[in-house]
Chains A and B, each alone.
Chain A
Amino acid sequence: MMKKSKRSFLKVAGIAAIGLGAFPAIHFASSDSHGTAHAVKSPNEGALLAHRWGMVIDTNKITDEVAENIVTACHKAHNVPDFNFEVDEEKYPNTRPVNHKQEVKWIWEEGFHYAFPDKEDEFLAERFHDLPFLVTCNHCKNAPCVKACPTGATFKREDGIVLMDFHRCIGCRFCMAACPYGSRSFNFRDPRPFIEETDLKFPTRSKGVVEKCNLCAERLTKGEQPHCVEASEGAIVVGDLEDPESEIRVLLNEHYTIRRKQSLGTEPSVYYIM
């Protein structure tokens, strides 16, 4: 009988172990599947592109009615919960009543004094006192929310849109504290019972997630204008701020515009024609 030393046994065992370890790799290399490595990802054909998206709101054209239409159009399409909505008891039994301070909003009406607190002049033209000003996320160039987000859930896209990856949001609300415009809302509750009609083209959110305006990134990618623009009867224009030929730049050139809390240095991308 062949005498095996411990040494030679260990050698063989070692080589065998390497072989076993390498098996999955060899198996993968020999298979004809390419996995995801050779796949090509591309934007939709006909998507609207810009170097830096911006918005101009003509306050002269915004009436209470138009403002309401805009807010409704946006909130409906993005499944934003309405806490005044009476919950369907059958579908969602035992839903607790809502604290209205916990409201969720993407775009809403605000008085001049709240929207532009630093432009509070002693003898401000009277009409400004009761004009509705539509405010939303400003998609700032130096967005403080992006810097505050610890998980990278809020980020600035290359085309200037400040966007959220709801999957990654842990609900810490640092971004809400960082945003000087109050543009962000937190889902204290599961929003689903409070959505009258769920739009299937956009997901809802879940409890514990922050949300805000996404400049209709899901529509721009299909070559469509944002919901607010469509509902605004010409009062809102969205376009490329970096393109001097764009409609939005022409408007900015022709009118006197202001931005919210400019002095903070966040460089908002939403302009108001006064």
Chain B
Amino acid sequence: MNKNYIITGLVVFVLAVLSPFWFNIVTTTQAMPEAELLGKSKTEKKCVLDKYEMRANHMSLLDEWRDAVVRDADRQYKSANGHSFNMSLSTGENSCLGCHEDKAKFCDSCHTYASVDPYCWECHTNPKEIK
């Protein structure tokens, strides 16, 4: 009977196609690191956008900020939630690093996990690394 062959074949096929899932079930994978909020960012409780949007879209926001600062000389950003920020990655109190003080635990932990390697820090300076 062909029916048995077909069904066995299908089962083998489905098992094979889903093999990455089986692999992940039996092996332990490193959980996605939570960006650690330290220092000022822990108590401030306000960011430019809400947490999930920042997680997903911070790169577009930084891109927008860069154009605004460099091309239009706009440096102040009043976000939709009413808070004002200094559009800067690493300079001044009200910049990204001014609040999220620890680059290693805030930026690098996720970037390393996601194996993305943005070149921000080839030029921008992390105050902690310089000292």
User: Footprint of B on A, CB under 8 Å?
Assistant: 33-45, 47, 155, 157, 159, 163, 165-167, 198, 200-206, 217, 221
| Given A37-B80, A206-B123, A217-B73; 6 other pairs, CB 8 A cutoff | A39-B77, A41-B78, A47-B75, A163-B70, A204-B123, A206-B119
Known: A42-B74, A163-B70. A33 touches B123 (CB 8 A): no
Report whether over half of chain A's contact residues are helix, strand or loop; otherwise say mixed: loop
Determine the distance from Cα of A217 to Cα of B53 in the docked complex, in whole angstroms: 31
Known: A203-B124, A205-B123. A221 touches B68 (CB 8 A): no
Determine the distance from Cα of A155 to Cα of B119 in the docked complex, in whole angstroms: 22
Number of B residues contacting the other chain (C-beta, 8 Å)?
32
Q: Note all chain B residues with C-beta closer than 8 A to A202.
A: 91
CB nearest neighbor in A for B76: A42
Asked if A43 and B123 make an inter-chain contact with CB atoms under 8 angstroms apart, the answer reads no
| B34 within 8 A of partner (CB) | no
Please list the 4 inter-chain residue pairs (A to B) with the smallest Cβ-Cβ separation, ordered nearest first. A38-B80, A34-B80, A41-B74, A206-B122
Q: Note all chain B residues with C-beta closer than 8 A to A165.
A: 66-67, 70-71
Instruction: Give the residue of B78, B87, B127 whose beta carbon is less than 8 angstroms from that of A200.
Output: B127
Asked if B71 and A44 make an inter-chain contact with CB atoms under 8 angstroms apart, the answer reads no
Known: A43-B76, A155-B71, A204-B123. A167 touches B91 (CB 8 A): no
Asked if B77 and A41 make an inter-chain contact with CB atoms under 8 angstroms apart, the answer reads yes
Determine the distance from Cα of A44 to Cα of B87 in the docked complex, in whole angstroms: 10
Determine the distance from Cα of A123 to Cα of B22 in the docked complex, in whole angstroms: 89
CB nearest neighbor in B for A34: B80
Instruction: Give the residue of A34, A42, A44, A217 whose beta carbon is less than 8 angstroms from that of B78.
Output: A42
Determine the distance from Cα of A217 to Cα of B74 in the docked complex, in whole angstroms: 11
Determine the distance from Cα of A43 to Cα of B119 in the docked complex, in whole angstroms: 27
| B44 within 8 A of partner (CB) | no
Asked if A35 and B53 make an inter-chain contact with CB atoms under 8 angstroms apart, the answer reads yes
Which one of B53, B60, B125 has the greatest number of beta carbons of chain A within 10 Å? B125
